A and B are shown apart, each in its own frame.
Chain A
Amino acid sequence: KQEVTQIPAALSVPEGENLVLNCSFTDSAIYNLQWFRQDPGKGLTSLLLIQSSQREQTSGRLNASLDKSSGRSTLYIAASQPGDSATYLCAVSPTGGFKTIFGAGTRLFVKA
């Protein structure tokens, strides 16, 4: 049974700092891994999608990596800004399946 863990559960950093959010999963038979952002009271916004054959994806100040064999992904945020404050969720989709499993999220607070 796939389990997704995100560490840390919460993180507070000063503006401008580079930071790394971690995601680990127990079953490496995944189709893709997706990182989302959720603002309070809002829906989930897709940030990056990494297919199982890829090692990383980049979008602006965000870079996500995937190491399928070790069951790990990281989301790197460069030069953090107060507007980055949100909960970041990692989700893995199984090979050939529709059941995407979510981690519990990392709540990020960037101080001005």
Chain B
Amino acid sequence: DTAVSQTPKYLVTQMGNDKSIKCEQNLGHDTMYWYKQDSKKFLKIMFSYNNKELIINETVPNRFSPKSPDKAHLNLHINSLELGDSAVYFCASSHSPGHGGELFFGEGSRLTVL
């Protein structure tokens, strides 16, 4: 009954590979996010989708491509992985601002690029 679930939890891969992380929420929210937490534990927003529309795209290399097939799912595909992509990626969801806006997070996906 996990509210926001992401898979996989751990991902170890070689430089240059392509990988995807999937996220699903069962809270009925209309907004989903991807956050990146670096080695210093600082959380920074990458993307946000509202009703399947991309509304935030923060200076992220175009090797990162989010996709939202429906309001309950937001996936992150990363091409040509680099060492600097190693981090923990968190998915989150919320109602739109004006309807509460409380953020709920998944457990994170730890990506290690060798």
Contacts and interface: CB of A to CB of B under 8 A. Distances in A.
Contacts of A49: 100-102
A47 to B, nearest CB: 11
B102 A34 contact: yes
Given A98-B56, A104-B41, A43 B97 contact: no
| Residue in B40, B41, B106 whose Cβ sees the most chain A Cβ within 10 Å | B41
A46 B108 contact: no
A60 interface: no
A44 B42 contact: no
Interface stretch (A13-21, A76-84, A88-96): A88-96
B91 to A, nearest CB: 9
A43 B101 contact: no
B43 A42 contact: no
Contacts of A97: 97
Interface in B92-109: 92, 96-98, 100-108
Nearest to A97: B97
A96 B90 CA distance: 23
Interface residues of A, number: 25
B41 A87 contact: yes
B55 interface: yes
Contact of A98 (B40, B48, B102): B48
Interface string B78-95: 000000000000101000
A63 interface: no
A100 interface: yes
Contacts of B45: 99-101
B52 to A, nearest CB: 14
Given A44-B90, A44-B103, A99-B48, 12 more contacts: A34-B103, A42-B107, A42-B108, A43-B106, A44-B43, A45-B105, A95-B97, A96-B97, A97-B97, A98-B96, A99-B56, A101-B45
Nearest first, the 8 A-B pairs at minimum CB distance are A44-B105, A43-B107, A102-B43, A43-B105, A49-B102, A98-B48, A31-B97, A43-B108
